[in-house]
Chains A and B, each alone.
Chain A
């Protein structure tokens, strides 16, 4: 079987993040490198938060996805340096997050606008949210609560 590294990146872009299934593990920016050596594929993965329980699920999902495509020898390498940053989120990932109701990260440290109604009148409820990567905000106009993807 002949595969190219580009093809593998394409397959990985179909592996959803287990917590936020609208974006792929590639969109999330945690797949740092794909190396093809003979029959062996090595995927370097950088965890988002050190204690994120999704990390081990993600590695398993990547392995399963590649095996389903006929790759028998898959190695997952955890790479912690340089540390993951939300700058690595893809543009596609950012817009999908917003469509899904999660405000994408902003360098200013808070959401640009409410992902539901677009209002800029938003307030922080809590610095933490339903997963380590999110904070809890609320729109003061439509009054809906929403998740904000923290900028780190």
Chain B
């Protein structure tokens, strides 16, 4: 694999994570339990989609085949997506959505802090901008997980169920492979495994404050960020997200 091929893959991983999670979170628009949460979720989704435009825009530039951020978002099918499986998992109830958000945000903020010092100044620029927004996301998702985990018996039960359900999808965020090895060698991005200890410590602290128990298993589903095997949910999501381009190919505003 050449450096540019790995760089393109890496940028698609960044952009597809924010795109797929951003779309998932946007599905709450108009459906959240209270107005403030509705607005908060919509704003989070908006930040993530904005970050997607930068990551996928740069991916298209690095690829050099004239594909724009929109082309990459709307004209690829499931097997070309490089997001982690966690991002594409369905929303479930509000608690499940916030648990997914926290597990992701906590890893996202650690990664972006490192990327702000990337040897590639375009990557560093995007990360420096995004990290400010994501610091805000993790503050909110962490508070919400704690509030609901250490809340009523019903909210506690739901948050524990969400953690049990989503935990096996967290590990994929920290696996290394050829792509990450090349990126680390170039000083563009850290090896994902190097972020694990800080993430574990933060998550442990949050879950203990939330009175939730982290499952005693390291089993991790894989196949999202390599595109080898996405879960069934991604394809269903894309039929919604890409509906316009599928029904009316080439449609423009």
Residues of A within 8 A of B (CB): 47, 49-53, 80-85, 125-130, 132, 136, 150, 152
A-B contact count (CB 8 A): 67
Q: Is the CB of A50 within 8 A of B53?
A: yes
Tell me which of B39, B47, B140 contacts A50 (CB under 8 A).
B47
Q: Is the CB of B140 within 8 A of A127?
A: yes
Q: Is B3 an interface residue (CB 8 A)?
A: no
Q: How far is the CA of A52 from the CA of B47 in the complex (A)?
A: 7
Q: How far is the CA of A140 from the CA of B44 in the complex (A)?
A: 27
**Contact status of A50 and B128, CB under 8 A, knowing A127-B139, A128-B43:** no
**Contact status of A80 and B126, CB under 8 A, knowing A49-B50, A51-B46:** yes
Within the complex, the shortest CB–CB distance from B73 to chain A, in Å, comes to 13
Q: Is the CB of B125 within 8 A of A129?
A: no
CB contacts (< 8 Å) of B53 on chain A: these are 50-51
**Contact status of A83 and B128, CB under 8 A, knowing A127-B140, A128-B40, A150-B136:** yes
Q: How far is the CA of A50 from the CA of B126 in the complex (A)?
A: 9
Residues of B within 8 A of A (CB): 36-37, 39-40, 43-51, 53-54, 121, 124-126, 128-130, 132-133, 136, 139-140
Q: How far is the CA of A80 from the CA of B97 in the complex (A)?
A: 30
Q: How far is the CA of A130 from the CA of B40 in the complex (A)?
A: 9
Q: How far is the CA of A130 from the CA of B43 in the complex (A)?
A: 9
A-B contacts, 13 listed (Cβ < 8 Å): A49-B133, A50-B130, A51-B46, A52-B46, A80-B125, A82-B128, A83-B125, A126-B36, A126-B37, A126-B40, A127-B136, A128-B140, A150-B136
Q: How far is the CA of A84 from the CA of B128 in the complex (A)?
A: 10
Closest 8 CB pairs of A and B: A51-B50, A50-B50, A81-B125, A126-B36, A51-B46, A128-B40, A83-B129, A128-B43
Chain A at the B interface: SS class: loop
Q: Is the CB of B36 within 8 A of A128?
A: yes
**Contact status of A50 and B133, CB under 8 A, knowing A80-B126, A126-B39, A132-B47:** yes
Tell me which of A81, A83, A150 contacts B121 (CB under 8 A).
A81
Q: How far is the CA of A15 from the CA of B126 in the complex (A)?
A: 27
**Contact status of A152 and B39, CB under 8 A, knowing A50-B51, A51-B48:** no
**Contact status of A52 and B40, CB under 8 A, knowing A80-B126, A82-B128, A127-B140:** no
CB contacts (< 8 Å) of B125 on chain A: these are 80-81, 83
Tell me which of B36, B40, B47, B124 contacts A51 (CB under 8 A).
B47
Q: Is the CB of A127 within 8 A of B40?
A: yes
CB contacts (< 8 Å) of A84 on chain B: these are 129
CB contacts (< 8 Å) of A127 on chain B: these are 40, 136, 139-140
Tell me which of A81, A125, A128, A150 contacts B124 (CB under 8 A).
A81
Within the complex, the shortest CB–CB distance from A81 to chain B, in Å, comes to 3
